[in-house]
Amino acid sequence: MSEGDLAGEIRSICEGARRAAHVLAVTGAEEKNAALCEIADELERSMDVVIESNALDLDAGREAGLSAALIDRLALNGQRIHEMAQGLRDVSALRDPVGEVLEGWRLPNGLVIEKVRVPLGVVGIIYEARPNVTVDAAGLCLKSGNAVVLRGSDSARNSNRVLVELMRRAGAAAGLPADAVQLIGVSGRDAAREMMRMHGLIDVLIPRGGEGLIRTVVENSTVPVIETGVGNCHVYVDEGADVEMAVAIVVNAKTQRPGVCNAAETLLVHREIAGGFLPAVWTPLSEKGVTLKADEAARAILPEAGEATEEDWMTEYLDLVLAVRVVDGLDEAIEHINRYGSHHSDAIVTRDWERARRFQREVDSAAVYVNASTRFTDGAVFGMGAEIGISTQKLHARGPMSLPELTSTKFIINGDGQVR
């Protein structure tokens, strides 16, 4: 396809979404909820077709030599499809954020001003591999009154095509505009790049995937972006910390699910407690298969550890590897975290009131923990009902994003003929 044709096709897809967004913005909660449940039912009714299309992707993936982990992320089966359907039903039961009056006041001249939640409009999502994101993301966007333009990875193209077709069909049967869910199915990177240029047609672009994807979107998008996901998370074990608690938190934060963004990547230990703490934490970590990359002071205590370089402080391993550094105190810990971290989730284990408060104030991250595992940073776990991603930027939303984060606001001003 020529560059002009491609741009035209992407633009026409986005224009369809924009028209649908105008309808969705004034669609009531009952109608949106009914559509989500209809899509859930249709997903379960169409299970065989979905699994067949997914099998094509899996075959192609194996032929292309995808790793077992990636094949697993790509795979759909009966249970996963039921979970996707249940996810939609759960979202339908959440409160509709649209129309919420956030604040309001009356001016001396009698004008009444209200700030009201409205949908963003058209949400673009660029994501990798997992086809369940196709359904989860569309469900959250529809519930919050937004049209969605999806750009999945080429490796899931057959699954995504079938999933989007069935969502459009079921949504339309329930009275939503079919174009409320759009898929950019053209393969290759140019299609994603064109999507990033749709300023005015897409209101926000959310990349979900690895650091490379997110950087590409930030570099190239004229559409406003919400950066998500990269998590170089820290646990700092303070002087005088409860060693048993600190061991439990570090082991949980590193090993409970090492491949996710809220898993810990670096352990910082106060010099005074390092001699007792590091051997205590090493036993359970080594039993779980964790290897360490440590600075000199930590290696003096744990000769089993490998050598850490500057690079390690910046690395999101997403694996059973933990960087370890001995620090002189809270100042050095905070400085390390703010300098090398990704501002995602960071924890202190301490018994000291003042240092806990300083850590909360001075660590510049989306989620700052005192005496708890970083693994809790998640929309569902936080009790927000659902999650479209975890923002690591400061604009618009920070931390887990749910339905309210998929909305904007507008001011409604009611008068009796007031002029200035």
Please provide residue 209's backbone torsions phi and psi, each rounded to the nearest 5 degrees: 165, -155
Judged by CB under 8 A, the residue of 373, 379, 386, 392 near its own copies is 373
3-state secondary structure of 189: helix
Burial class (CB in 10 A: 0-12, 13-18, 19+), 331: exposed
User: Bridge partners of 183?
Assistant: 150
Q: Does 225 bind its own copies (CB under 8 A)?
A: yes
Binding mask 17-56 for its own copies (x = CB under 8 A): -----x--xx------------------------------
Per CB under 8 A, the segment of 84-92, 113-121, 151-159, 293-301 that binds its own copies is 113-121
Q: Which residue has the tokens 């209200």?
A: 114
Cα separation values, 181 from 55, 269, 386, Å: 23, 49, 19
Q: Does 195 bind its own copies (CB under 8 A)?
A: no
Handedness of CA 166, 168, 171, 174 (dihedral sign): negative
Q: In terms of CB distance, is 222 or 309 closer to its own copies?
A: 222
Question: Of residues 391-410, which lie at the interface with its own copies (CB under 8 A)?
Answer: 393-396, 398-400, 408-410
3-state secondary structure of 326: strand
Q: In terms of CB distance, is 185 or 393 closer to its own copies?
A: 393
Give dist(CA 293, CA 321) in Å, integer. Answer: 7
Q: Which uninterrupted H or E stretch holds 215?
A: helix 211-220
Per CB under 8 A, the segment of 83-91, 149-157, 293-301, 380-388 that binds its own copies is 380-388
3-state secondary structure of 6: helix
Binding mask 132-151 for its own copies (x = CB under 8 A): --------------------
Q: In terms of CB distance, is 65 or 105 closer to its own copies?
A: 105
Q: Does 226 bind its own copies (CB under 8 A)?
A: yes
Judged by CB under 8 A, the residue of 105, 189, 212, 311 near its own copies is 105
Judged by CB under 8 A, the residue of 228, 365, 392, 402 near its own copies is 365
Q: How many residues bind its own copies (CB under 8 A)?
A: 67
CB of 126 closer than 8 Å to CB of 74 = no
Q: Does 351 bind its own copies (CB under 8 A)?
A: no
